[in-house]
Amino acid sequence: MKWKSKKSYNKLSLPKGKLVHFPKHKRSGFKFVGQKKWYSPSKNIFSKINYASWLWVIASGLLMSFSLPSAYNKFAFARSFLAWFALAPLFCILWNSKNYFDSFAKCFIAGLSLNLICFRFLLGIHPLDWMGVPHDLSLMATLSGWLIAALQQAFYWGIYGILFRLVHTTLSTNQWSALQFSLIWVVWQEKIANAVFLGGIPWTSLYYSQAGNLPLMQTADFVGGSGISFLIIFANIVLAQLWLSLGKKNLINESTKVLSMSVQYIVLLTFCLIYGFIHLFGIGSECTNSKTCFKALALQKNLSISETRYINQGQQVQAFTQLLQKVKGKPDLILIPEGTLKQSLLPKLTANFKQISPSSNIIAGAYLTDKQKQNFNTAIGIVPNHEQNQIYYKQILVPFGEYTPLESAFTMVLKLFKLDYLTQNSFSKGTEAQSFKMSFGNIAPLICFEALSPEIANKQVKAGAQAIAVIGDSSWFRNYQNLVASQMLAAAQVRAIESRRSVLVNINKGPLLSVDKFGRVQKYAKDSEFIFFDFSLNSKQSFFTRIQW
């Protein structure tokens, strides 16, 4: 039979459903001939998709997500090992990507798989009936917030795919590839994409997976948590290269590259572990010197979100006063969670507390309104025998929770549902670092998710702080409060090591905990009304704090 082109077959009168084969040099594959047009599998976009590669990409993102405390809060030490190989399939596929769009898409899907899991705590915000939001609108707003956060972070992953492709095509694979791609990850993903001024959400930084791996984490006082992310990416790239080299003909040359990368990684990891074990070896309790060690008391009432916002504030003052009366002992510092009080009731709370424990300093969360009628989420520092209170204005606000992005546009939409009053209580953000000068030393306040940002924590510590106090409120997230608690614990450990400061945490409907400057959890309580902490002060700045890179 003489082969004919597709064009010539269009002129033939063939019965419907006949299968015709074309020569390979013109167009391969079977073509289904209909009466009016050709139906070709090669014209269907799905026929060109390698389904296995997409499944591996999704699996890679999911595996990495479950190494993070914001995805799953059990078996922390065992989960941390997932991070060291979870992204290897993604890097294998990136090395064989066809073009820039393919690289972007593969990284985007991996990032979306991870972030949809890690940001699912946002689903706990629904329902917003306590704010007067209808059920359907509340569900839509909650799903939108979850998807927007996940898509934003996934987009940043996609940009990394483009950068990967650019460097790979420019420099090709060499013995320094793992080092290069790990540095690109840290600079782009940890430093630029998660920057505060870009609206970054440093919730899924990879180093949180290793927060409990204290020997390894000690290097964070030198390179920061992002240095640990560098090691994680490095390990995944080495594994990916090892796997790819096994299928190549020039095995000797490829093995040389992989061996060089492996040696680099082993040297870096060994140095980090030695550094960590030296710091941890023989270290007992920090609180042995009465001049630098003090006692803190964390109080909370485990109030629901509707109670914290709309409870009779006078009753709340009375409840905290009665709780303090139950406590035996006179602490140097009393911590009260975020948003506990409104401005008008601070004097009453202060007066009550001074009667019970006159020598105690207080850090309390409060909502304030200034003369321009701007609302602020603040931490108040109250010192005995000082009439003037110190005020810290929260610098990182939660979108849709504390402020409305593109507020003018959203106000028009909310007016249609007669909900424009929701934007009237938006908070303004602070811009200045603040360290409270207490009677015993200086304390840096952080409010809730600010503990996730090394940038903000460093600014606070450089303002003169000798310890860090984190106050928060996880009552927003209802059934997902445990995920928030796990993430805040990991953040406290990392920030403590980076700055070499003790970190005290008091979160409504969340954990009460203290971490020493080596990241060791000293005390941890959940669903408790109060707990005492011993904490130390440290005036020396770590290398990471000084360079603030």
Burial 201-222 (b: 16+ CB within 10 A, else e): bbbbbbbbbbbbbbbbbbbbbe
**pLDDT for the residue numbered 411:** 61
Q: Where are the beta strands (DSSP E) in 326-437?
A: 333-342, 361-369, 375-382, 390-393, 436-437
Rounded Cα gap, residues 513 and 352, in angstroms: 25
CA distance 191 to 188: 6
Torsion angles phi and psi, residue 25, rounded to 5: -70, -10
Dihedral (CA of 176, 179, 184, 187) sign: negative
Residue ranges of the domains in the chain?
Answer: 6-46, 49-280, 296-395+430-547
- β pairing state of 442-447 and 467-473: parallel
β-sheet bridge partners, residue 469: 445, 504
pLDDT at 40 (0 to 100): 41
- In order along its 549 residues, the chain shows pLDDT tens digits of 444 444 444 444 445 444 444 444 444 443 434 444 433 444 444 344 578 889 999 999 999 999 999 888 777 778 899 999 999 999 999 998 889 999 999 999 999 999 999 999 888 888 877 777 788 878 888 888 899 889 999 999 999 999 999 999 988 888 898 999 999 999 999 989 888 767 777 889 999 999 999 999 999 999 999 999 999 999 999 999 998 888 666 666 778 888 999 999 999 999 999 999 998 987 777 776 667 789 999 998 887 776 666 555 667 888 888 889 888 888 999 999 988 877 778 888 888 888 899 999 999 998 888 878 888 999 999 998 888 889 999 988 876 667 666 556 566 666 666 665 555 567 888 888 899 999 999 999 999 989 999 999 999 999 999 999 999 988 888 888 888 999 999 999 999 999 999 999 999 888 899 999 999 999 998 878 899 999 999 999 999 998 876
Contact 133, 400 (CB under 8 A): no
| Strand, helix or coil for residue 152 | helix
Q: In what helix (H) or strand (E) does residue 323 lie, and over which residues does it extend? A: helix 313-326
Beta bridge partners of 32: 19, 39
Quote the pLDDT of residue 306. Answer: 66
In terms of Cα–Cα distance, which of 234, 245, 262, 203 is closest to 85?
A: 234
Prediction pTM value: 0.86
Domain 296-395+430-547: assigned CATH number: 3.60.110.10
- Region for residue 189 given its phi and psi (left: phi exceeds 0; alpha: psi -120 to 50; beta: otherwise): alpha
